[in-house]
Structure 1
């Protein structure tokens, strides 16, 4: 296992220092080690577009605030902290499940766009992706809360990466359910709490949402939904669904994370296991145990 954390601080500095017309190519250069995420796309993709889709900073706009954000990440020793956390997380997973695959991976930490209201306010400066084996992208705006949670953010994405690596759970876009996505977010959050306490819980999920039985019941009603274009509403909430052109279903931001954590806790209490041990446990098995314990009726496949 080799975890390669891309040295993106100097790469971002080069972007911000360059003439505007040269910046897009420098963004592509920074993202180049992540191109393998899109090996299934004929002809590949434009990694500058990927940067934007991940709420990455606007390289065409003013740079003073971006420089301040980058300075804050550097001052917080963000790259070392994330690298150390990934090593800790990998050891925690393999110590309880030696058969789990921790792949060689490229990890990119990138500054987000502070002018994007959804990114800054709704998801509070965090967008992470670790669902493709061998790649993790963490996009942040360095608020005090984000900086305090860097380790937890990293291991959350690591849990996803191991879950969806060879020998783990197969994510088939044609058949995957909301239930799988919700359980995966719950497992990743609870795993982060096993290592970092309450800081492990994704911070853009409100406490009221976490405790709301109506939110839980609503998410559970959608567990059998398939079709990834509809997942945003069930997992991230209506605001994100609207942003990406999806149909709202009546859920607040982070509803799927909140429901997932409750479902996972119910399963772990019943099984006596941990989220680390359950990294490769099928969502159907978790839900079959968790739903009755929460007074909810299991339905169908997940």
Structure 2
């Protein structure tokens, strides 16, 4: 297998300097290698529209600001660091799970939108997706905290890719539960923390609620919910649910990440396994074990 981190920096710079009318076409060419991310969507996906919906850099404003931010990513060696982190993490994972099926992976890093208040506010300037085997997609604004966590963020998404690309854990939209999504976020964070420690390994949006027992209890009450249209509120929180037209359930941003970390940490402590060793564990086993040993009462 191969991990290919596409060097999008020159192309994004060209887009930001191009005539506005030319930008959508240039952007579409940049995004085309990631089109496979949307292979489960009904019908043909407009990649430029998805870029806008996903808080990608704007095509009609903030050019100077975005060029400066792109320079910050370049100066931080973002693309090189991500590639090296993924190769190192894969070696750790394969040592823990010999024979794991690993897909070829294409990694796309794009600059985010500084004018998107949800992206820069509740999402703290970072969104990422590694749930579709063969693709990792990172959208970020180079706040110092995000630059420091480049490796951990990429490794988190790699964990998703390997969990669902193995063939052992199936994400069936008709039957998958909030519990699977929450546990998968906890496992991915645990893997990032195994490699980079707690300071860098936690997904930032979940950190404020790690010790909030009320938030934990609320998320646990929804672990059996099915229907992917319901997941946003339970995992990402009400603000993101409202952003994308989903129904709020009374949870803050990152609630599912915080609860997932508590469940997974309790499971790992009870079993003595590392996050890498637990990559393919059934989410029901994680939840049952964690609640049995008292994750609900930990803070």
The TM-score normalised by the length of structure 1 is 0.95
Q: Is the 8 A contact 1:266 1:293 kept in 2?
A: yes
Q: Is the 8 A contact 2:186 2:261 kept in 1?
A: yes
Tell me the CA shift for residue 39 of structure 1. 2.6
**Where does structure 1 differ by over 6 angstroms across 4 or more consecutive aligned residues?**
none
- 5 Å matches for 1:187-226? 187-198=187-198, 199-207=200-208, 209-226=209-226
Q: Is the 8 A contact 2:187 2:275 kept in 1?
A: yes
Structure 1 residues not aligned, in runs of 5+: 298-302
Q: Which residue in 2 is equivalent to 1:180?
A: 180
For residues 149 and 296 of structure 1, what CA distance do their matches in structure 2 show? Answer: 28
- 5 Å matches for 1:22-61? 22-41=22-41, 43-61=43-61
- 5 Å matches for 1:76-91? 76-91=76-91
Select between 239-248 and 38-47 the one with higher mean Cα deviation. Answer: 38-47
Q: Is the 8 A contact 2:102 2:166 kept in 1?
A: no
Deviations 1:247-288 (A, max 9, x none): 111111100000000000000001100111111111011111
Tell me the CA shift for residue 296 of structure 1. 4.8
For residues 164 and 271 of structure 1, what CA distance do their matches in structure 2 show? Answer: 22
Q: Which residue in 2 is equivalent to 1:2?
A: 2
Deviations 1:9-66 (A, max 9, x none): 0110110111000000111000010112223345521111121122101112130100
For residues 173 and 108 of structure 1, what CA distance do their matches in structure 2 show? Answer: 24
The TM-score normalised by the length of structure 2 is 0.96
Deviations 1:115-148 (A, max 9, x none): 0011001110100000000000000000000000
Q: CA RMSD in A?
A: 1.3
For residues 38 and 151 of structure 2, what CA distance do their matches in structure 1 show? Answer: 26
For residues 280 and 259 of structure 1, what CA distance do their matches in structure 2 show? Answer: 19
